[in-house]
A and B are shown apart, each in its own frame.
Chain A
Amino acid sequence: MPSQAYHAPATVDEAVALLSGEPDARPLAGGTDLIVQMKSGRNAPDAIVDLKHIAALSGVHRNGDGFAIGAATACTALKNDAALAAAWPGVVEAANLIGSVQVRNRATMGGNLCNASPAADAVPALVAAGATCLIAGPAGEREVPVEQIPIGPGHTSLAPGEFVVEIRLPGQVAGGGDAYLRSIPRTEMDIAVVGAGVNLVLDGSGTCTAARVSIGAVAPTVLLVEDAAAALIGSKLDDAALDAMGKAVSAACNPIDDKRGTKKYRIAMVAVLARRTALIARERAGAAS
């Protein structure tokens, strides 16, 4: 690792200045992707801007009915916020599937999102939940849906000097429930071969009135599959609806053969996982209504 400049700004403005000032500066959150990439020589930024010393970027805060999660908040800390875990169990579980306890004590959802891996575990759950990002940059602040951040493996839509300040989740509505599942060869310490996040709302009769279905590791970016949601909406999640949803996610995905799984297996698995995830979300939605 050749030597780099290391900055630890205390405010968002300082961080924006540093990130726009250096030609190849990189934000650093937990470092569980970035440092590994630097050590392997895959990534060699000139400067590191550590976001962990900016007070506003740490912790889970109430934001109206919903939540604002500082981009430097470690995944483990999400579990400790009872209200967040009750409202968005799927998101909190997804973030706490990442790596191991040691990794999660450092790793953040912001890093998971901005690393832009198609297999990032927190992202499908966030997309299904309808999360947004607050972004700070030289041109000021803007808020965009999470699914608009990754644009391809390792690439984001963030402009030079921009970084994610917080991830915002709406309040979970009555009758709403979310879930995330992934498939890995082992039980932990693996990268998702397939991932699926589902968030849905049931009315008093158990009919699905709203749904978002998102899939990971089966395309260059995490996908929000509207056809899959449409298959669920208006149904009671009977077999026919779940089958239709499964077909929709299999049709939407565009995977590759790689060392983590074959294309064929991924296409078959995404339907299985989405179905199982939807059933957990239904459980939760039922309990919440």
Chain B
Amino acid sequence: MNAPESKRAFRYVGTRPVRPDGVEKVTGKAIYGPDYQAANMLHGAILRSPHAHARVRSIDTKKAEALTGVKAVVTGADFPTTEHIIMAVGESSSDLVHLSRNCMAQDKVLYDGHAVAAVAATSDEIAREALDLIEVDYEVLPHVLGIEEALADDAPVLHDDVFTKGVNPTPDKPSNAAMRVEMGKGDPEKAMADADVTVSGRYTCEAVHQGYIEPHACVSAWDSDGQVRIWASSQGHFAVRSLTAKILLISEADIRVTPLEIGGGFGGKTTIYLEPVATLLSKKSGRPVRLAMSRAEVFRASGPAPGAVIDITMGANKDGMITAVDMEFKYHAGAYPAITAHSGASSALSHYTIENSRVIGWEVLCNRPGTKAYRAPGAPQSIYAVECALDEIAEKLGMDKIEIRLKNAARPGDPNIMGIPQGEIGYVECLEAARDHPHWSAPLGPNQGRGIAGGAWGNYGGPSTAQVSIAEDGTVLVTTGSPDIGGSRAAMAMMAAETLQVPYEKVRVAIADTSSIGYSMVTGGSRTTFATGLAVTNASNEIIENLKGRAANIWEVNASEVAWGEEGAVCLAEGKTDETMSLAALAARTTFMVGAIGAESSVNPGGFLPGVGVHICDTEVDPETGHAKVVRYTAIQDVGQPIHPDYVEGQMQGGAVQGIGWALNEAYLYNDKGCLDNPGFLDYRMPVASDVPMIDTVMVEKFNPGHPYGIKGVGEVPIVPPLGAVACSVSEAAGVRMRDLPLTPDRVHEAMHPDD
């Protein structure tokens, strides 16, 4: 469905112009991470652990170093000793020591694919040949992959310096339970005891990879004066700079990171894997060094979203009012502590107003790659269990599944689980849009089921810098520090055009390197259009004020007597009201006399609002084979004011498809040695185009009063509802409640034919 007519009279905001970076991308000419070449560059390759868990007794690199064409070899011993400080990594954070050891193992390897050594050579073939010559003496240790197994008393413990955080007093024995969080309010125990109906269940889902098309890649050059240049694709080149600087003990001003086009990140490129390694190889060899992961390396060694085990009990009164929720979830952290459980806990119930709740979350270490952000990190898993439990309550009460949600929906002003009042969220409007959508009332065919689920994500603001300058001919240059993943160049150009009242085609957007613009946080957290857009708008407004002053000088009137409009400066002073001066004329006339026209704005805005959505999913189950096919899907979301509706709908559709993959087929398959058995797209089964129907989208446009263009973050919410929507739909179609994702044909078949 197309966007409803924009409620506000904007000229560009809310329209669908062609994106400025489109032609280069569709003609295959844009330079992505793995495409970049530097003059005189060497080719790097990384030796990775074949063991899930082992102590590295020794590494002998002599033979590799002696191979003709090899210019440098690096191991963990080349990494400086860093301190245990907590570093911001995108929306999350990590211990610096762990970040460093994830780039290159030191005394222990913690997962199949963990980097143990790296080589730079004059060709890729030589580099790979050299890897075979490196001798690593491993003492293989018992490994653990599953959440419950990792928490068992006799489980192999990954780190001897990790003591459960969030438990009072801190335990004196190290364990795989890296963190515990607890949130809640009221008296859930009493409320549960008093409830008219209760449901309980254990829900599970698997770790899933973001599946970006472009593998991680970078080129790093350690210049002779000790300054470093890095070219990389990432969600944030300032994050690449700060993490590389801290790991290698270099000052940030000595590293210049140039962003390349990025082929997908979804949260997974807010961290670093290769840059410190390439930098050390360059330092040793004196030449630029390129490192690029293969698809198998991406799967084995980059961070997925955590899998989860979630126990939930929900209680309600006869009218469908949820009176109590008691849930405890455990997330896979992977090899290093993560903090996803925190957002998992704060998101779990955020779209409902529930008086009595207790939400406990755990982060559990295991011998898998460390988990990383993936669209709304932590929320899809916990909300999956909440939405399914709600479905079960509705079923028990014989209540309509939208009615029960409307009854409990969080409304603006309602306190969330942490007691903070909700802002202008549109969950009720989304539920009403779902109820009114033809999908909700369409008849179902045989073997079909319909599921509905809601979801929310907090979104973020965060620091951003933008510069806007006016060229001598009056065309507009916008420069930001935010990599363009989902079409943000177009959005920035549209907001500049809207504010300056110039045609969209007159605005060009560049993304500057870390030495050419002020700090900007990663493109992530659904923050870029919101926060960087605000910086662009502010800078544009500052330029208007400046131009009004210039026009006032020319007209010899007060600046307050000059207005700004489509024509440019407009004189309001008596007797001169027919005077106007276009942006082009002002630029041509004043640039050389007065000086360059430009402004910079750095922001760190509050005013961001959570995103909420509701998805409806129809599946058809083949009762003989257990195949579940999604036959109809509608995604409804409160998107605030969409700047470029195509890209908003694209986010909604993309997130829905990723969630469908999570629900139906995606999973990491490990063999009994703890090695990944499906490190490729053939057997890591993301949905292909023919697996999904057209995802219908409905944008509910509830303007955000905290932003000049009413923006709400839209990129993360859409992966939250699909797990519940698909699971409830398949459960209805199969006639049996399915609580363990993914719903692969053999699992559904087994559930439908338990006695076979």
Q: Cβ of B687 and Cβ of A189 under 8 Å apart?
A: no
* Alpha-carbon distance A262/B746, docked complex (angstroms): 8
> Does A179 count as interface, using CB distance less than 8 angstroms?
no
Specify which of A185, A191, A193, A268 is in contact with B665 (CB 8 Å cutoff): A185
* Alpha-carbon distance A187/B665, docked complex (angstroms): 12
Q: Cβ of A188 and Cβ of B685 under 8 Å apart?
A: no
* Alpha-carbon distance A193/B625, docked complex (angstroms): 11
Q: Cβ of B756 and Cβ of A185 under 8 Å apart?
A: no
Q: Cβ of A268 and Cβ of B756 under 8 Å apart?
A: yes
Instruction: Name the residue on A nearest B746 (C-beta).
Output: A265
How many chain B residues sit at the interface, stated as a range, is: 20 to 34
The stretch that binds A, out of B226-234, B369-377, B675-683, is: B675-683
B18 smallest CB distance to A (angstroms):
27
Q: Which residues of A contact B626 (CB under 8 A)?
A: 265
Q: Which residues of A contact B681 (CB under 8 A)?
A: 189
- Chain A contact residues: helix, strand, loop or mixed: loop
Q: Cβ of B749 and Cβ of A186 under 8 Å apart?
A: no
> Does A44 count as interface, using CB distance less than 8 angstroms?
no
Q: Which residues of A contact B624 (CB under 8 A)?
A: 272
Q: Cβ of B682 and Cβ of A189 under 8 Å apart?
A: yes
Q: Cβ of A185 and Cβ of B685 under 8 Å apart?
A: yes
Q: Which residues of A contact B593 (CB under 8 A)?
A: none
Q: Which residues of A contact B746 (CB under 8 A)?
A: 261-262, 265
Query: Which of chain A's residues 1-33 have a Cβ closer than 8 Å to chain B?
Result: 1-2
Q: A259-B683, A260-B683, A265-B749 are in contact. Are A183 and B669 (CB under 8 A)?
A: no
* Alpha-carbon distance A188/B665, docked complex (angstroms): 13
A279 smallest CB distance to B (angstroms):
13
> Does A167 count as interface, using CB distance less than 8 angstroms?
no
Q: Cβ of A187 and Cβ of B690 under 8 Å apart?
A: yes
> Does B651 count as interface, using CB distance less than 8 angstroms?
no
Q: Which residues of B contact A188 (CB under 8 A)?
A: 688, 690
Q: Which residues of B contact A200 (CB under 8 A)?
A: none
Q: Cβ of B683 and Cβ of A189 under 8 Å apart?
A: no
Query: Which of chain A's residues 223-279 have a Cβ closer than 8 Å to chain B?
Result: 259-262, 265, 268-269, 272
* Alpha-carbon distance A188/B487, docked complex (angstroms): 30
Query: Which of chain B's residues 711-756 have a Cβ closer than 8 Å to chain A?
Result: 744-746, 749-750, 753, 756
> Does B395 count as interface, using CB distance less than 8 angstroms?
no
- Chain B contact residues: helix, strand, loop or mixed: loop
Q: Cβ of B682 and Cβ of A191 under 8 Å apart?
A: yes
> Does A190 count as interface, using CB distance less than 8 angstroms?
yes
Query: Which of chain B's residues 663-677 have a Cβ closer than 8 Å to chain A?
Result: 665, 669, 677
* Alpha-carbon distance A268/B749, docked complex (angstroms): 10
Q: Cβ of B665 and Cβ of A186 under 8 Å apart?
A: yes
- Per-position 1/0 for B16-49, Cβ under 8 A of A: 0000000000000000000000000000000000
> Does B691 count as interface, using CB distance less than 8 angstroms?
yes
B658 smallest CB distance to A (angstroms):
15
Instruction: Name the residue on A nearest B677 (C-beta).
Output: A259
Q: Cβ of B669 and Cβ of A259 under 8 Å apart?
A: yes
A146 smallest CB distance to B (angstroms):
25
> Does B125 count as interface, using CB distance less than 8 angstroms?
yes
Q: Cβ of B690 and Cβ of A1 under 8 Å apart?
A: no
* Alpha-carbon distance A205/B681, docked complex (angstroms): 48
B32 smallest CB distance to A (angstroms):
20
Q: A185-B744, A265-B746 are in contact. Are A190 and B685 (CB under 8 A)?
A: yes
* Alpha-carbon distance A201/B135, docked complex (angstroms): 63
* Alpha-carbon distance A35/B688, docked complex (angstroms): 23
Q: Cβ of B756 and Cβ of A186 under 8 Å apart?
A: no
Q: A188-B690, A259-B669 are in contact. Are A183 and B625 (CB under 8 A)?
A: yes
Q: Cβ of B678 and Cβ of A259 under 8 Å apart?
A: yes
Specify which of A1, A187, A259, A272 is in contact with B125 (CB 8 Å cutoff): A1
A143 smallest CB distance to B (angstroms):
34
* Alpha-carbon distance A216/B744, docked complex (angstroms): 20
Q: Which residues of B contact A191 (CB under 8 A)?
A: 682-683
Q: List 18 A-B contacts (CB under 8 A).
A: A1-B125, A2-B125, A2-B129, A185-B685, A185-B745, A186-B665, A186-B685, A186-B688, A188-B690, A189-B681, A189-B682, A189-B688, A259-B683, A265-B746, A265-B749, A265-B750, A268-B749, A268-B756
Nearest 3 interchain pairs by C-beta:
A265-B746, A187-B690, A259-B669
Q: A187-B690, A265-B749 are in contact. List 12 more A-B contacts (CB 8 A).
A: A1-B125, A40-B296, A185-B665, A185-B744, A186-B665, A186-B690, A186-B691, A188-B688, A189-B688, A262-B746, A269-B625, A272-B625
